[in-house]
Amino acid sequence: MRKSFAALLLVALSVMPVNTSRLLPPNPVTLLQLSDTIEPGVQFSIAADYVASPTAPEDGLRLYRDNVVLQTLPAGSAVNEVVTFPPFTGGLPAGVYVFQVSAFRTVDGQDLESRSGPLTLTVNTTQQAQCQDTVDNDGDSLVDYPADPGCASATDNDETNIATQCTFQFSRTSVGGVPASGGSDQVGLTASDASCQWTSTADVSWLSTTPPSGTGSIGMSYNVAANTGPQRTGVITIGNATLTVTQVGTVQPCTYTITPTSSTVPAAGGTGSVTVGASASTCQWTAVANATWLTVGAGGTGNGTLSYTIQANTTQAQRVGTLTVADLQFTVTQSGASAPGTVVLVRNQCTPVIGADRSPDGTTSGWTAHFRFVNANGTFTEFASDNTSPYQRSTPQNSPLQPGTYRIDISWTKSGVAPVVYAPLTVVCQ
């Protein structure tokens, strides 16, 4: 005779989030013909209210999905208990599923079981929008519209908060005259939004802020370390805002004076000197000339004297040059060479004697004067003087000039010196 047994199964569908550690007991009012709807991917488990047979205890419980055994659990020792199958952690794809739970016992090699009524589970084909799915999708501890600021509406499918474009502004952009001993002072920082986070940076190690970071607008301190060197400048930056801090030093910058500040020299050139005064014996200075005809000595340290040399000016034009000494200007003005004292002595106007009483640079030797007599047709006769003063040359007595008007071109030459040319003279032979 086939043995039978009876076990009362009250089965419920329990839908739970991932981090739920406690399963809600099933609702006894809707146990036998329960149906429910969830979204794709939602995790859930099946719970059964189990009432054991007092005379023939069951071996265990089975969970069926669409008549296929998915899970098996041993029966409990209690007469009445809630048995929960391991959860479906991966959820289910869209579709309709029928679950049943059975109590079973093996008697004389036969498998005897009693199944519960069906539980119908519908997994939606369309997933709910993030802003109404009761899930904290962006991890900010705020769920769905309107609690989560990332939700524009309940149908918004992106719960992520929209990043705020933050801008910042200091109450002042620069600070000067911070003492060498250093210290701290206040400056205001205004942020475009209360949620704007910021971190301060400085381009030098001796600057910092308190606090070094924060959120929104704030009154903050900037901190300046003591300075044992010269004046220095640093910049604090927060986002688009900058604060420039200038601190005085214990070592003052060097200052200089020069005496005199200018000199006038003759065309012959020569030498000179400039006295340099420095604010400290450690102050270094340099000297540079801006013209090739000026030669200047090297720079120095502290107080000192600078020597310079001026070459001869072989032109009639005045010239001006400068020496830059310790970043100060020293001006040299040199006269042009005087025109030679050229005279024309006329003997019956056709046998002239022409000469000069000095050379272009005033020296008495080394120069040669050249006199060229050019007639109206361009034909010329040239005479050269000797190189001693006075420089003169006369036309030969046996070769007088022919009647007419003559232009006398005058030039000077000297070894190693560029030729010097002067304005022509005129003589008339009648």
* pLDDT on residue 218: 94
Average pLDDT over residues 335-345: 60
* pLDDT on residue 22: 24
Is 283:254 a contact under the CB 8 Å cutoff? Answer: yes
Query: In 163-299, which residue ranges form alpha helices assigned H by DSSP?
Result: none
> What are all long-range contacts of 399-403, with beta carbons under 8 Å and residues at least 24 apart?
400/350, 400/351, 400/429, 401/350, 401/351, 401/352, 401/373, 401/427, 401/429, 402/350, 402/375, 402/429, 403/350, 403/429, 403/430
pLDDT, tens digit (0-9, with 9 covering 90-100), for 218-271: 999 999 999 988 889 999 999 999 999 999 988 778 899 999 999 988 887 889
More confident residue, 343 or 176: 176
pLDDT tops 80 at residue 324: yes
More confident residue, 341 or 335: 335
Domains and CATH numbers, the chain: 8-123 (2.60.40.10), 168-247 (2.60.40.10), 256-334 (2.60.40.10), 342-429 (2.60.40.10)
pLDDT tops 50 at residue 340: yes
Average pLDDT over residues 188-216: 93
* pLDDT on residue 421: 77
Residue 219, exposed/middle/buried by CB under 10 A (0-12, 13-18, 19+)? exposed
More confident residue, 3 or 288: 288
pLDDT, tens digit (0-9, with 9 covering 90-100), for 109-164: 888 777 777 777 777 766 678 898 888 888 888 888 988 888 888 888 888 877 66
Q: Is the peptide bond before 390 cis (omega within 30 degrees of 0)?
A: yes
pLDDT, tens digit (0-9, with 9 covering 90-100), for 20-60: 222 222 332 223 335 677 766 677 777 776 666 666 667 77
Average pLDDT, the chain: 78
Please report how many Cα atoms fall inside a 13 Å half-sphere around the Cα of residue 66, on the Cβ side: 5
Does the pTM exceed 0.75? no
Please report how many Cα atoms fall inside a 13 Å half-sphere around the Cα of residue 321, on the Cβ side: 20
pLDDT range class, residue 71, cuts 50, 70, 90? confident
pLDDT tops 60 at residue 398: no
* pLDDT on residue 275: 95
Is 177:211 a contact under the CB 8 Å cutoff? Answer: no
pLDDT tops 50 at residue 9: no
* pLDDT on residue 413: 82
C-alpha closest to that of 47 among 114, 105, 101, 118: 101
Q: How many CB atoms lie within 10 A of CB 124?
A: 13
pLDDT range class, residue 169, cuts 50, 70, 90? very high
* pLDDT on residue 235: 97
* pLDDT on residue 11: 42
Out of 37-46, 77-86, 148-157, 339-348, pick the least confident. 339-348
Q: How many CB atoms lie within 10 A of CB 168?
A: 19
pLDDT range class, residue 396, cuts 50, 70, 90? low
What is the percent of the chain with per-residue pLDDT over 90, rounded to a whole number?
A: 30
* pLDDT on residue 130: 86
More confident residue, 305 or 77: 305
